[in-house]
């Protein structure tokens, strides 16, 4: 298990995967749930988002957690909120059984328990991680778009054109100038 802790006020490359790698994030509707959550947490100044990509089975963020959301971390709030939204939808469709787990504290698991956080401490690491997430939809088995700028659910166009289509992006290079 690759579980890692993240601290407040530090910037991380963070990855979370859907339970059993189910393609729950294939639908644009589910991607919009993620976007809405990021927008809300950003508006409340609980997080600062520098980059992201949403893939069918997982996501990558470059972000900073700024302060707690009541008694929980913004990461915890994000995962709990999105899991509840997805589970409600899965129950309506009759697909909740795909996410059943044998645990004493819950019946379903939407997010795998092995999220990964890697601290970004330099401009070189920032550049490498941004290039990685932006190329994710167009390489390997995915081929979700012709090029990184054509894939909508990514921060690639923000870095190319400087336009924040999502309303929550911040330029990572400004931190390391």
Please list the pLDDT of the chain residue by residue as tens digits (177 residues). Answer: 555 678 999 999 999 999 999 999 999 999 999 999 999 999 999 999 999 999 999 999 999 999 999 999 999 999 999 999 999 999 999 999 999 998 888 899 999 987 899 999 999 999 999 999 999 999 888 899 999 999 999 999 999 999 999 999 999 999 987
Is residue 110 a part of any domain in this protein?
A: yes
pLDDT of residue 104: 80
Q: How far apart are CA 110 and CA 100, in angstroms?
A: 9
CA–centroid distance for 65 within its chain:
13
- The answer to whether residues 2 and 116 touch, using CB atoms and an 8 Å cutoff, is yes
- The answer to whether residues 148 and 137 touch, using CB atoms and an 8 Å cutoff, is yes
**Which one, of 43, 38, 69, lies nearest residue 53 by Cα?**
38
Beta bridge partners of 60: 15, 53
Angle at 21 between CA 18 and CA 27, to 5 degrees: 65
pTM for this model (two decimals): 0.94
Is residue 1 a part of any domain in this protein?
A: no
pLDDT of residue 3: 56
DSSP structure class, residue 118: E
Is residue 131 a part of any domain in this protein?
A: yes
CATH number at residue 80: 3.30.70.1290
Is residue 141 a part of any domain in this protein?
A: yes
pLDDT of residue 103: 83
**Which one, of 61, 68, 78, lies nearest residue 153 by Cα?**
61
Range of the domain at 66: 11-175
pLDDT of residue 176: 87
Is residue 3 a part of any domain in this protein?
A: no
Domain count of the chain? 1
Instruction: Please provide the distance, in angstroms rounded to a whole number, between the alpha carbons at the two ends of the chain.
Output: 35
Q: Which tokens in the block code for residue 59?
A: 């996501």
Is residue 74 a part of any domain in this protein?
A: yes
User: What b-and-e string marks burial along 40-55, b requiring 16 or more CB atoms within 10 Å of the CB?
Assistant: bbbeeebbbbbbbbbb
pLDDT of residue 2: 54
CA–centroid distance for 120 within its chain:
16
A 10 A CB-CB count for 173 gives 12
Is residue 96 a part of any domain in this protein?
A: yes
Is residue 95 a part of any domain in this protein?
A: yes
């Amino acid at each position: 298990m690759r579980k890692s802790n993240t601290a407040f006020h530090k910037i991380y490359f963070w990855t979370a995967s859907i339970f059993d790698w189910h393609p729950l994030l294939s639908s644009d509707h589910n991607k919009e749930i993620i976007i809405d959550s990021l927008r809300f947490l950003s508006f409340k100044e609980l997080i600062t988002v520098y980059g992201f990509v949403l893939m069918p089975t997982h996501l990558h963020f470059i972000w900073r957690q700024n302060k707690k959301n009541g008694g929980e971390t913004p990461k915890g709030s994000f995962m709990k909120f999105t899991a509840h939204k997805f589970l409600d939808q899965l129950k309506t469709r009759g697909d909740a059984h795909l996410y059943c787990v044998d645990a004493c504290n819950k019946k379903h698991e939407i997010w795998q328990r092995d999220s990964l956080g890697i601290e970004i401490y330099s401009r070189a690491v920032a550049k490498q991680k941004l290039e990685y997430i932006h190329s994710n939809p167009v390489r390997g088995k995915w081929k979700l778009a012709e090029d990184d700028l054509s894939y909508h659910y990514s921060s690639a166009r923000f870095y190319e054109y400087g336009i924040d289509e999502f309303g929550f992006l911040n330029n990572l290079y400004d931190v390391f100038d």
